[in-house]
Amino acid sequence: MDKEHPNHLALHLIQLPLPGFVSILHRISGLLLFFALPLLLLMLQYSLRSIETYTQLMAVLAHPLAKLVLLGVLWAFLHHFCAGLRYLAIDLDYGVKLAQARASSKVVLAVSLVLTVLLGVKLW
């Protein structure tokens, strides 16, 4: 027990495995969705209030920066959904072995990115 412990951890040198990376992205996407929820509810309110507010909303959403923000929210939703399905499968003891966990992490990243690109192109 006389081992010397480092005074600090060099976090930038730690190699995080892919399932850990997907887990962190799952948390980040959930946080992004949480903070985007008031904006999305406000957009829903403007779209339903009157034709004038709907027209104003469409004018704002036509801006490329607004589209980029919505694309980020779309990615957050799709990643959070796909990773959530992965965690539900893990809770049911499917894909708990290391090779399966790595493969499902790759699938989550690939599917969420492909869906984001496909839906983003359609919505842009």
Give all strands (DSSP E) within 9-116, no chain letters.
Answer: none
Q: Which of 6-10, 11-15, 20-24 has the lowest mean pLDDT?
A: 6-10
pLDDT tens sequence across 31-72: 999 999 999 999 999 999 999 999 999 999 999 999 999 999
User: Check: CATH 3.40.366.10 for 17-123?
Assistant: no
> What tens digit of pLDDT does each residue of 61-99 get?
999 999 999 999 999 999 999 999 999 999 999 989 999
The C-alpha torsion from 35 through 38 and 40 to 43, rounded to 10°, is -150
Which pair of structure tokens corresponds to residue 68?
């980029």
Every domain of the chain and the residues it spans: 17-123
Distance, in Å, from the CA atom of 13 to the CA atom of 40, rounded to the nearest integer, reads 38
